[in-house]
Chain A
Amino acid sequence: MTAPKPITDGLSLLDRPNSYIGKTVPRPNLDRLLQGRGLYVSDMELPRMGHVVFLRSPHAHAKIVAIDIAAAKLKPGVIAIVTGQELAAVITPWVGVLSHLKGLKSAPQHAIAVDRVCWQGEAVAAVVATSRALAEDAIDVVFVEYQELDAVTDMRAALEPEMTVIHPSLGDNLAFERVHDAGAVDTAFAASDEIVETEFVFGRHTGVTLEPRAVVADWNAAEARLTIYQGTQAPHMVQNIAALHLGLEERQVRVVCKDVGGSFGIKVHIYADEMATYALSRLLRRPVKFVADRLESFNTDIHARDHRCKGRIGVTRDGTITAFEIDDLTGIGPYSMYPRTSAIEANQVVNLVGGPYVTKNYRARARVVFQNKNVMCQYRAVGHPIACSVTEGLVDLAAAKIGMDSIEIRRRNLVPDDAYPCASASGLKFEQLSHHASLTKLVEMMNYESLRAEQAALRDQSIYRGIGIASFIEVTNPSAAFYGVGGAKISSQDGVAIRLDAQGAVICQTSITEQGQGSESLTAQIVGSVLGVSMERVRVILGDTDNTPYGGGTWASRGAGIGGEAALQAAKILRKNILDVAAAILQSTPAELDIADNAVVNIGDGAPRIELRELARIVYFRPDTLPPGIQPELMATRHFVPREYPFAFTNGVQASWLEVDTATGFVKLLKHWVVEDCGTIINPQLVDEQIRGGVVQGLGAALFEKCVYDDHGQLTNANMADYLVPMSGEMPDIDVGHVVSPTEESELGAKGAGEAGTAGAAAAVANAVNDALSPFGTVITEIPLTPQVILTALGRI
């Protein structure tokens, strides 16, 4: 655990009777979800609510010649059938660019396609009916005449001169390019004893949130106000965008976010069909509900990680890594997503490759191209799995080339733990990382030497097991450097308002959101700890733009580090205000008093003086008994945003132990270990579960998950039977350990933990598979590592 930080001259956070920071306590309000009494958007019903179903393009690229809605209009229950042209009168199109991503371009995107469709799954028309089933009946008899156009599918061909340009006004299919050149790369390669070069291929995959995207939009014409109930990670961002494109003021839009059935970055974007639903509500002056079905989810939820990245590493015989070089190519679909853009992932790859290592020689190019496939954008651990797999894959290849153990080469090259603060070759600023302490801990946890012995013994019996190691860094607590500087109205600060109610309990409104990570719990833990109030007396309100301070929400591993610090600072102010009132009531001084266990106590001997319930009673109902001149303020608000560092980097290392069946190509995951450093740990159990869940998401990418498109841009496995996700039977137990380096940027010292697991899991597995297959002299640099990929590499098929 981290060193406790004093909040008063006397007691520290961890000494106090209600110290929840650093302790495993159950999340509040879990019974609601356990008893099936949650309220997800898909559960919501409003009076006069219509259900919208979208007719979606069967073609990857086509001109819309005509839409015939005559038969559909006659179907029972139909309220309206709306085309893109008609909806464009209500909602304006958007362009997903940010000014700090220099040169990024995209084309205007409409809520419903106008004249042309650019991917299989783009909405062409909307049918609103009294039930979803009736809307689906009607959509069957909406007839669209298409004229098919050439589709750009292979990202490698997208930039060829003869290739169709998806948006002619942009000139070519290149959306964004970034180059970076640091140190003396050519000199470093020339001085290397060995250079290893290869291409890494990543399968396009997607989030598969168990609850599909869902929204209920309710335009109340009489109030001139739109209420949007949506499972979103960023309510204020949705408020801003909806208002902007519907021609409203933000005060006319309220976004409410109740329970969310999984997000992982899928629900942090603005989707065309969600915009269409807002607009339809406005157009029809009644509530409209959209819930994607699973097939639509596969075709329209953002995809991610479709990258081909060439990588090169130089190494000397003593194991010194001399340089990294990458050339990354990614296809993002026909539009850059809005408003976060689809250039961030490639940008992150450039930022993060080589990040854990000492070498300053680094050259990178990343190109982002348009194609006629579903849109790609930020998904849990944006860019990290690519960067980590490329970096760690190259490091293992370099180690193999010079005959060095994979732990040893990392020991020789990871940035020393006493070298901070420092910067990476890509220019990232690191405050304090702990690569070596983490690696040492990992080696102990996994009993590395005996695992190697076991591996060798089994290999003699033709059992092929492998160990894979992956060090990583993770971007957390983003400042305005992420989006704000580029012009997006996505707040990097968060706010917490906290008040003592009339019975001495605490109500806390926070701008971070909850999708299961534990935002509510960490807020209550911090507030309870600082105030000296038991957690069950802290009620946390989230996810409502009318009823929380303004803020970013929960994404990019920012909830605990940013929202948590705002909660801590707000609680400190409320604590001071309570003690001021208590001192007046008790004819004492604030310095002589403390709050513990829901009562004001003597700071010296801890003797109870007045319960908070009694203090609240006096303040709210008998202020006449207070001394003159006292105006109690039992509500406090504080905001927080990191200013010193653009990001609070975390670090860690993962290891995979697995067995490859060389006859069938199947991989059996036997065990997985993670050591990570997220700074101050607020709730160890929640951190560990974030890590485990993140790892399994990365394991899915490593072994199973891939959106398989054919040459015509048709997604051929858009269902859960054909697109494989990790299920309990194939997943290993995951041991999690910690090193704690708190950030000095906040009093809390917490960094994020939500994406570390996903960042390094696939790299560890890929390295382990290659380790297992090393007797066969084959190296695989492609994920997912399906039986087909493995058997092909082994020459068996």
Chain B
Amino acid sequence: MTVPMPISLHINGERVDALVLPRQNLADFLREHLHLTGTHVGCEHGVCGACTVRVNDEIVRACLMLAVQTHGTSVQTIEGLSDSGEVADLQAAFRERNALQCGYCTPGMLMSAQDLLKQQPEPSRDQIREHLSGNYCRCTGYQAIVDAVEMTARSRRVRQQ
């Protein structure tokens, strides 16, 4: 189990082929092999949510998934979501509402928020708080983040009408 294994997957739409040690987690793989440092590492035991990424359209803790498990999958990181423009409105709302201070939780927070907005276009404040309750933010006290997600949900509904 200590021999590097070949994996092949799509990351932010690009095909990636790599040899990875079986023990390496997805967060370290993204950061160290691919230099996608927008995926942050906060606790390395699946609690803080800083490393949240999307694998096959589901958000996961990249510190709790092994890189070898992503073989054949499609992974999206904050860099991909930013470049595609998928969360541009959410990012704008975060900026306008100052829903980030140090910014370390922000990529994971955006991932989780976008996940909620895809599932639930009209979330209540309580639902937003509940959905983001796996993403730790020490700076903001969360209210601004909840406001920004609420604002985005509202503006997306208006756009779709």
Contact = CB atoms under 8 A, between A and B. Distances in A.
Given A34-B103, A211-B104, A693 B141 contact: yes
Interface string A659-688: 000000000000000000000000001100
Nearest to B105: A210
Interface in B131-157: 132-146
Contacts, number: 178
Nearest to A231: B102
Contact of A261 (B96, B102, B144, B145): B102
Given A35-B78, A294-B42, A693-B139, A728 B102 contact: no
Chief secondary structure at chain B's binding surface = loop
B142 A696 contact: yes
Interface stretch (B3-11, B31-39, B65-73): B31-39
A37 B83 CA distance: 11
Given A210-B102, A211-B40, A729 B78 contact: no
Contact of A728 (B45, B104, B110, B135): B135
B60 interface: no
A517 interface: yes
A36 interface: yes
Contacts of B78: 35-36
Of A208, A517, A695, A729, most buried by chain B (CB within 10 Å of CB) is A729
B44 interface: yes
A731 B129 contact: yes
B40 A689 contact: no
Given A36-B107, A210-B105, A727-B133, A26 B98 contact: yes
Interface in B68-86: 77-79, 82
A264 interface: yes
Contacts of A259: 102-104
A453 interface: no
A263 B138 CA distance: 9
B42 A210 contact: yes
Give the size range of B's interface with the partner: 35 or more
Given A34-B103, A689-B140, A728-B142, A27 B45 contact: no
B143 A733 contact: yes
Contacts of B94: 30, 34
A32 B48 CA distance: 21
Contacts of A721: 45, 47
A696 B104 contact: no
Interface in A598-632: none
Contact of A36 (B37, B45, B134, B140): B37
Interface residues of A, number: 57
A37 B38 contact: yes
Contacts of A731: 129, 141-143
A317 to B, nearest CB: 40
A40 interface: yes
A260 interface: yes
A40 B133 CA distance: 24
Interface string A264-283: 10000000000000000000
A364 interface: no
Given A38-B103, A210-B42, A210-B50, A695 B95 contact: no
B41 interface: yes
Contacts of B146: 728
A211 B141 CA distance: 17
A652 to B, nearest CB: 16
Nearest to A131: B32
B96 A33 contact: no
A139 to B, nearest CB: 16
A479 interface: no
B26 interface: no
A725 interface: yes
Interface in A1-56: 26-27, 30-40, 42-43
- Which interface residue of B28, B40, B78 has the most chain A CB atoms within 10 A? B40
Contacts of B32: 131
A261 B91 contact: no
19 contacts: A26-B96, A30-B94, A33-B103, A35-B82, A37-B82, A133-B24, A133-B28, A261-B40, A261-B102, A262-B101, A516-B139, A518-B98, A692-B143, A696-B140, A719-B45, A720-B48, A725-B138, A726-B142, A731-B142
Given A294-B44, A689-B144, A693-B141, 4 more contacts: A42-B40, A210-B105, A294-B48, A729-B129
Query: Nearest 9 pairs between A and B by C-beta?
Result: A36-B38, A33-B103, A516-B101, A261-B104, A696-B141, A36-B78, A516-B102, A729-B133, A692-B141
